[in-house]
Amino acid sequence: MEIPRHWRLKKQRYALVGEVCPHCEAKIFPPRDVCPECGDEAKTLFEFSGRGEVYSYTTLHNAPAGYQAYAPYTVALVKLEEGPMVTAQLTDIDNQPVEVGMPVEMVTRKLRAEGDDDRGMLVYGYKFRPMELQPLAAAD
Amino acid sequence: MDVVIAGIGQTSVGEHWHVSLRELAFQAIEAARVDAGGLLPQALFVGNMLAPKVSGQAHLGVLIADFAGLRGIEAYTIEAAGASGGAALRAGYLAVKSGFVDVALVVGVEKLTDKVGPEVESAIATSLDSDYEAVQGVTPLAQAAMIMRRYFYEYEVPQNALAGFPVTAHANGVGNSHAMFRKALKPGLYERVGMLSEPLNMFDAAPDADGAAAVLLTRAELIPPDASPTPVRIAGSSIATDTLSLHDRPDPLDFRAARISVGQACHQAGIVIGEMDFFELCDIYSVYAALSLEAAGLAERGQGWVLAEEGQISLKGRIPISTLGGVKARGNPWGATGVYQVVEAVQQLRGEAGVNQVPAAEKALVQCLGGPASTAVTHVLTAL
Ligand SMILES: [Zn+2]
């Protein structure tokens, strides 16, 4: 059980809260307090839109302990529209082939069951699903 | 002042169900000490990645020193994921180079078969960013698969572009009595084998295994002029790091740390990359072999696979790699891999590689990686 750790990370995990650098405007996720672009301090919170596109992906069959119940599952590197990339599972992709460049959006889902069985503390966090298509304007 | 490798030892790589971690390490140490004519080490550097998680055993320095009859000497573990063995060699090199230690013993050891399946997968995944990668159920294999897919996407290479890497490794494994796999791959098998994590197939990944390898380091002047076997010189040594997380890199197909550590090691040795007679690289995943060749400057970006396709990485090619089977065919005892690579390079430089001998091998580049070159350790070895 690692409850304090997951509680500490809940802002990042539930809402993609990162940082914006007050010096060079770089958007930072995960938060790291030092801007990777200019090296200055960056502690201003910034909430990402949750929209991005698939940079690469794969399907995992040999899952680590705690994730076997979900296998096979698809993981991806997602390039957020604000710039940074995140590692995340894809979800709700049953009827759709995944492709590099596919637009996706963030949702909050169960990531794993903490501990050796499902009675342990659950860990929730971001996953990404295919972006809902915008309804086309009626032609007539 | 030259630091030389005076002795080498290794166990076979595979499933050592009946041997404990300490016994495995001891076998390699004994072999290295016999090879070095009984040099007595004053310091022990252990390369290991997984013992605390898989065997419930930390504190390997004293465990192994005590068990190997070296009670009392300086001893501790160096951990840098899959680069632990190379990092331990670096520590031993620095100890001897500094003059504080006359003889250093470096042992890489990994004992995976104390656990099986998902438990091993999660132990290996602790080398990723726990908060932002591993929590998503990602493993090093999945990362490699994502890198491979992006490599194929960006460079538009043929579906079987990477086949030459496992084919070469397996061909070379046949002649290595310590290798886990000693059978050549049948032509056409690569294209038919099952997927592990699309597009990465069973031949694109090295098998996890138990194993231990050891080297003894000392100063050149402490070795008698007529010593046999001939010592091998560590001419260059470098470690570089990148971001821990793959997603934090501006270009995940650029193995930046590998590139930097090759540059530094070659510069220190005064040897340009084109002069290397062979390159023991990290072919844990075939796409990593391609990216390592590119990072070293032996191929243009997106062209590393062509060296394999054209046979230039085979024993008689322009730049032989994985000369005794590589990680792919010898097997991958994670934290020990970096020491195995050095042991094999020494075999080549001594002219003791048998049917796998690289002709006139005098200069070797040796590189191990932790994660997707999150850590890269590079050594240049030369025949004295
Ligand atoms: Zn900045």
Specify if B128 maps to a domain.
no
- On whether both A36 and A61 belong to a single domain, the answer is no
Number of domains in chain A: 2
Residue A57: closest CA among A91, A106, A16, A98: A98
Angle at B21 between CA B74 and CA B12, to 5 degrees: 110
pLDDT reported for residue B290: 98
Q: What is the pLDDT of residue B9?
A: 98
A139 located within any domain: no
What amino acid is encoded at B132 in this protein? Y
How far does the CA of residue A25 sit from the closest CA of chain B (Å)? 17
Q: So what's the pLDDT on residue A139? A: 46
Q: Residue A65 and residue B247: Cβ atoms within 8 Å?
A: no
Query: Are both B111 and B244 inside the same structural domain?
Result: no
- Residues B108 and B212: beta-carbon distance below 8 Å: yes
Phi then psi dihedrals of residue B34, to 5 deg = -65, -45
* Same structural domain, A85 and A109: yes
A89 with B137: Cβ contact below 8 A? yes
Domain edge (last residue) among B222, B249, B278: B222
Four-point Cα dihedral B353, B358, B363, B368, nearest 10: -70
Best residue in B115, B124, B127, B132 to probe A by mutation, most A CBs within 10 Å?
B132
**Domain co-membership, B18 together with B144:** no
Instruction: Give CA–CA dist A96/A94, Å, rounded.
Output: 6
- Compare all CA atoms of chain B with the CA of A91 and give the residue at the minimum distance: B136
Q: What is the pLDDT of residue A114?
A: 64
Chain B residue with Cα closest to A29: B248
Say if residue B302 is in the same domain as residue B164. Answer: yes
Size of interface A-B (CB pairs under 8 A): 105
Q: Is position B350 within any domain?
A: yes
Specify whether B29 is located in the same domain as B86.
yes
CA distance to A101, A104, B51, per residue, from A77 (Å)? 11, 11, 30
Domain membership flag for residue B133: no
pLDDT, position A1: 45
Asked if the structure places residue A135 within a domain, the reply is: no
Based on the structure, what is the number of domains in chain B?
2
> Which of B124, B130, B132, B136 is most worth mutating to test chain A (most A CB atoms within 10 A of its CB)?
B136
Confidence of residue A134 (pLDDT cuts 50, 70, 90): low
pLDDT attached to residue A3: 67
Domain CATH for B272: 3.40.47.10
CB-based contacts of B111, cutoff 8 Å, min separation 6: B16, B19, B20, B21, B24, B50, B51, B54, B55, B210
- Amino acid at site B179: A
Q: Which residues of B touch A9 (CB under 8 A)?
A: 131
Identity at A54, one-letter amino acid code: V
For residue B38, give its domain range. 3-117+208-222
Q: Does residue B71 lie in a domain region?
A: yes
**Residue A124, in any domain of the structure:** yes
- Non-local (6+) Cβ contacts of B314 within 8 A are B168, B171, B320
Per-residue pLDDT 10s for chain B (384 aa) are: 899 999 999 999 999 999 999 999 999 999 999 999 989 999 999 999 999 999 999 999 999 999 999 999 999 999 999 999 999 999 999 999 999 999 999 999 999 988 888 999 999 999 999 999 999 999 999 999 999 999 999 999 999 999 999 999 999 999 999 999 999 999 899 999 999 999 999 999 999 999 999 999 999 999 877 778 889 999 999 999 999 999 999 999 999 999 999 999 999 999 999 999 999 999 999 999 999 999 999 999 999 999 999 999 999 999 999 999 999 999 999 999 999 999 999 999 999 999 999 999 999 999 999 999 999 999 999 998
Residue B277 in domain: yes
Residue A60 lies in a domain: yes
Domain-located, residue A136: no
Asked if the model's pLDDT at residue A132 lies above 80, the reply is: no
- Say yes or no: ipTM exceeds 0.85: yes
How much distance in Å is there from the Cα of A43 to the middle of ligand 1?
A: 10
Q: Which of residues 48-77 of A touch B (CB under 8 A)?
A: 55-68, 70, 73, 75-77
- Residue A62 makes CB contacts below 8 A (sequence gap 6+) with A71, B117, B118, B121, B139, B141, B196, B197
Q: What is the pLDDT of residues A34-85, one digit of tens each?
A: 999 999 999 999 999 999 999 999 999 999 998 998 999 999 999 999 999 9
In a domain? residue B229: no
Give dist(CA B180, CA B113) in Å, integer.
Answer: 14
Work out the mean pLDDT of chain A and round it to a whole number. Answer: 86
Residue A32 located in a structural domain: yes
Residues from chain A contacting residue B135 (CB–CB below 8 Å): 111-112, 123, 125
My answer on whether B11 and B113 are in the same domain is yes
For residue B301, report the distance from its CA to the centre of ligand 1, in Å: 29
Q: Given CB atoms, is B126 within the 8 Å cutoff of chain A?
A: no
* Whether residues A55 and A118 fall in one domain: yes
pLDDT value, residue B20 = 96
Query: B237 pairs with which residues across the strands?
Result: B379
pLDDT for residue B193: 96
- Same domain membership, residue B218 and residue B188: no
- pLDDT score of A116 more than 70: no
Q: Are residues A54 and A34 in the same domain?
A: no
**Domain end call among B192, B222, B252:** B222
Note down the domain range covering A90.
Answer: 49-130
Would you state the structure tokens that stand for residue A24, as one six-digit string?
């060079």
Note whether B162 and B293 are same-domain residues. yes
Which of A56, A65, A123 faces B122 most closely, judged by CB atoms? Answer: A65
Q: String of b and e for B45-64 (b: at least 16 CB within 10 Å)?
A: bbbbbbbbbbbebeebbbbb
Specify the pLDDT at position B357: 98
pLDDT for position A2: 61
Scan residues 184-213 of B and list those with Cβ closer than 8 Å to A: 196-200
Q: Is residue A137 part of a domain?
A: no
